[in-house]
Amino acid sequence: MATLAQTLPETTMRVEPRPAPRPRVVSGAAPVLLPWLRAQSINVTRHAAALRPFKRDEFGPGQAAPSEGHIQVVNDLITNLRRGLLKMSKNVHDSIAVASEDPRSHRLQRVVSHKDSAHRWVQGIEKIWDFYFELFGQRQGRYGDWLLSCDRIAMDCYQAAYTNLGAARSVPAPPPFCYMKTGFAPATIRRGIPVRRLGKQLNPFPLVQLPYHRLVNPWTLGAVMHEVSHNLQSDLGLSKDIPRQIGLRLLNADLGRSVVRVWVRWNREMFADMSALLLGGPATVGSLMDVIGRAPAAVFGFSERGPHPTPYLRLLISTELLRRMGFGTEAEQYARAWTRIYPNPRAGTIPTKVLETFPKACALAVDTMCFRPYSSLGNKTLAQVFHFGRKDQNMIEEAAQRLAAGIDPGIVPERYLIGAARHALDKRLARPGVITENFYKELVRR
């Protein structure tokens, strides 16, 4: 598919498949050969017709259906690829017409060669068509409202970012699209990157992958803000500035190049954690603990090439930001709980130098990432763009009371409902099933 992408046409247009040629009966031709040639022409024509653009109404009439914007950009991708298939179909048709007049072996081999090229192209388009058909099709079932709710949280994160920038930026579109997939951890596919499952085509909008067990327990959905934040780092133009500034800050602090390399490598996952915490508040740390609270060997296990901070240190990075946000008590409580579960980090494989320099390196990295201005943010800091203070937490706690009672939680941002669900669960304000039902009911209603 890499070569397929290189030969895509620059514009799209509707091209009708050519009708299958009507081969003449050639004296001496085998009775099987001419019908088989005709069938190959029909097959490739029908392949092209079947891989047609999507229609919005085929994925249900409700709010959970994919938006016009999502359908349009996927259809643009499919239409461009179909143009290439129709060109190859013409080669198949023409070679069949020639071989039908004179079915010598070299002409028949030209038919099957063109057919093979068209078939590979069909497979490539089929892979893309099937990928989005499955994603869009999830919105028709019983989980459509859950995924719509996560879409609205993701949209709220983007709106918080772009409305609070220090200078106007072009607004990206379409917005993130959430889908469900089995597995342990959430994930994302960023906008505009080549995707193997799409034959190295560019993904046209952010995709947020959520395991079923996260959707069942909405107080664990801080993962939505984390995955959306990966996309925000790219869309806001921070993918290069953040690691560069962290690297310079730590080098100037004489922490050693080996330590600096570790923190630079961690920048993307750390950014997603920091951004999610600034977007959602203290409850996001509890959601992070849900993900990384595993067996000691995994929590203390250091990866030489892994993009994630070592889990033991990852939680403590979040408590450092929580403290800087003005939530010192909550930061201390989370840190104490974490170190009570995992009291001896030296029992794992974290390098001694990384452990020894952690307090200083962590403070500098958090300060650089969250409390230093960036030109791409309009010379604001990340903490200014995603400002979260005590009043926001008060809103979340009031919304938790209302959510538990089945009352309209008010005009709180969609992303705050995750923290409200967690607060209601932690304080036993209602049964988990009631919290879940009211959480999704409120988000679907909006």
Q: Residue 372 carries which DSSP code?
A: S
Residue that is written with structure tokens 């509890």 in the block: 286
Same-domain check for residues 166 and 206: yes
Same-domain check for residues 261 and 327: yes
Number of domains in the chain: 2
Summarised one tens digit per residue, pLDDT across range 385-397 is 999 999 999 999 9
Let me know if residue 102 belongs to a domain: yes
pLDDT value for 25: 43
Does the pLDDT at position 59 exceed 60?
yes
Q: Of 446, 377, 438, which is closest to residue 413 (Cα–Cα)?
A: 446
Distance CA 96, CA 40 (A): 8
Same-domain check for residues 113 and 151: no
State the chain's mean pLDDT as an integer. 90
Distance CA 188, CA 216 (A): 19
Same-domain check for residues 78 and 93: yes
pLDDT value for 18: 54
Cα distances from 381 to residues 2, 239, 310, in angstroms, run: 39, 15, 26
Domain boundary among 112, 140, 168: 140
Let me know if residue 248 belongs to a domain: yes
Same-domain check for residues 178 and 116: no
Which helix (DSSP H) or strand (DSSP E) does residue 38 occupy? helix 33-50
Strands 207-210 and 177-180: what pairing? parallel
Kindly state the average pLDDT of the residues 293-322: 97
Distance CA 439, CA 204 (A): 30
pLDDT value for 69: 94
The parent domain of residue 265 ranges over 144-385
Does the pLDDT at position 230 exceed 90?
yes
Three-class secondary structure of residue 49 per DSSP? helix
Q: Determine which of 2-11, 147-156, 174-183, 246-255 has the lowest per-residue pLDDT on average.
A: 2-11
Let me know if residue 421 belongs to a domain: no
Q: Of 87, 71, 117, which is closest to residue 13 (Cα–Cα)?
A: 87
Distance CA 401, CA 396 (A): 9
Domain boundary among 369, 385, 401: 385
Distance CA 174, CA 170 (A): 12
Summarised one tens digit per residue, pLDDT across range 345-362 is 999 999 999 999 999 999
Same-domain check for residues 241 and 304: yes
pLDDT value for 30: 58
Task: Dihedral sign for Cα 415, 416, 419, 425, please.
Answer: negative
Distance CA 184, CA 361 (A): 30
The number of helices, as runs of H, and strands, as runs of E, in the chain is: 19, 5
Domain boundary among 370, 385, 400: 385
Cα distances from 429 to residues 394, 421, 425, in angstroms, run: 16, 10, 6
Does the pLDDT at position 165 exceed 90?
yes
Let me know if residue 416 belongs to a domain: no
Residue that is written with structure tokens 């408590």 in the block: 319
Q: What is the DSSP code string of 158-225? A: HHHHHHS-SS--PPPSS--EEEE--SSS-EEE-TT-EEGGGTTEEP-S-EEEE-HHHHHSGGGTHHHH
Same-domain check for residues 231 and 371: yes
Q: Are residues 201 and 77 in contact, defined by beta-carbon separation less than 8 angstroms?
A: yes
Task: Dihedral sign for Cα 446, 162, 187, 340, please.
Answer: negative
Let me know if residue 259 belongs to a domain: yes
Let me know if residue 212 belongs to a domain: yes
Summarised one tens digit per residue, pLDDT across range 389-444 is 999 999 999 999 999 999 999 999 999 999 999 999 999 999 999 999 999 999 99
Let me know if residue 57 belongs to a domain: yes
Same-domain check for residues 184 and 265: yes
Q: Determine which of 100-104, 287-291, 357-361, 442-446 has the lowest per-residue pLDDT on average.
A: 100-104
Same-domain check for residues 104 and 231: no
Same-domain check for residues 258 and 363: yes
pLDDT value for 19: 55
Same-domain check for residues 232 and 356: yes
Same-domain check for residues 373 and 226: yes
Q: Of 200, 205, 142, which is closest to residue 178 (Cα–Cα)?
A: 205
Q: Determine which of 23-37, 300-314, 317-331 has the lowest per-residue pLDDT on average.
A: 23-37
Classify residue 154 as exposed, middle or buried by CB count within 10 Å of its CB (0-12, 13-18, 19+): buried
Distance CA 222, CA 273 (A): 9
Distance CA 264, CA 241 (A): 11
Percent of the chain at pLDDT exceeding 90: 67
Let me know if residue 391 belongs to a domain: no
Distance CA 48, CA 381 (A): 50
